[in-house]
Amino acid sequence: MRKENISDAVIRRLPRYYRQLTDLCNRGVVRISSHSLGQEMNITASQIRQDFSCFGEFGQQGYGYNVAELRRQIGHILGLDQHDKIILIGAGNLGRAITVHIGFQKYGYELAGIFDSNISLENIEISGIKIMHTNRLAEFCKENHPKMAVLCIPKSGAKEMVQKLLDLGVNAFWNFSHYDIHYDHPEAAVENVHLTDSLMTLSYAARRQEEYSAEPSSEEENTEE
């Protein structure tokens, strides 16, 4: 499987392919052409073929793609078959929502531990997992070797926490805190999530839509005397 120099844009499309293929599997679709997959996803068949060619040949000429096999291979590229352990830091509103609503297991991960610095939260369960105080983090990481951490804590405590986690061997962060991890640790694997960025992008699109509908159409312009 070829993997060198894969563009970020292609990597960012893989979760979407994975999601679509999961949906197709659930609908009992066994095989699909790049044309039909493109129609389902509103992208061109040539874009799909080009994306998949980065990883070698997934499909067969005249047959299309075996949906389950393609899903498995994309899952493998994304590391979903590694059964990585994840820990979540910060069991507040956001941490709880993520624990309850993100089906980590569905994507092959194990949410192995939840930590919070507030001692009064210790042993409270979220989705069957007991919250641990952060003073148990070192011991836990030495025993369980989690690969990734979900950061749901305020920016003020995030810098110190990230350093601690890196020292404990956790070097991939799903970062909801507003701390810029890469600034201090360019080598860490980081996926920043700022939900409001998405809202502001929507806001821009809404403004553009308003402007577009306010513009006089060429027909209206032509009827002026």
The residues pairing with 141 across neighbouring beta strands, listed in sequence order, are: none
3-state SS assignment for residue 29: coil
Q: Does 94 bind ligand NAI (CB under 6 A)?
A: yes
First to last CA, the chain: 66
How far is it, in rounded angstroms, from Cα 114 to Cα 124? 10
Exposed e or buried b for every residue in 35-70, given b needs 16+ CB within 10 A?
A: eebbeebebeeeebbebbebbeebbeeeebbbbeeb
Q: Out of 7, 53, 60, 118, point to the residue binding ligand NAI (CB under 6 A).
A: 118
Give the residue with the Cβ less far from ligand NAI, 7 or 135.
135
Q: Out of 74, 88, 91, 111, point to the residue binding ligand NAI (CB under 6 A).
A: 91
Report in angstroms how near the CB of residue 204 gets to ligand NAI at its nearest.
17
Report in angstroms how near the CB of residue 111 gets to ligand NAI at its nearest.
16
Mark residues 130-169: x for contact with ligand NAI by CB under 6 A, - for none: ----x-----------------xxx--x---x--------
How far is it, in rounded angstroms, from Cα 4 to Cα 7? 9
Stretch binding ligand NAI (CB under 6 A), from 10-18, 73-81, 93-101, 204-212: 93-101
Stretch binding ligand NAI (CB under 6 A), from 17-25, 46-54, 83-91, 165-173: 83-91
Which of the residues 60 through 79 are near ligand NAI (CB under 6 A)?
none
Report in angstroms how near the CB of residue 120 gets to ligand NAI at its nearest.
9
How far is it, in rounded angstroms, from Cα 172 to Cα 21? 26
User: Which amino acid appears at position 51 of this protein?
Assistant: D
Query: What does the chain come to in residues?
Result: 225
Interface residues with ligand NAI (CB under 6 A) are 89-95, 115-118, 134, 152-154, 157, 161, 176-178, 193-195
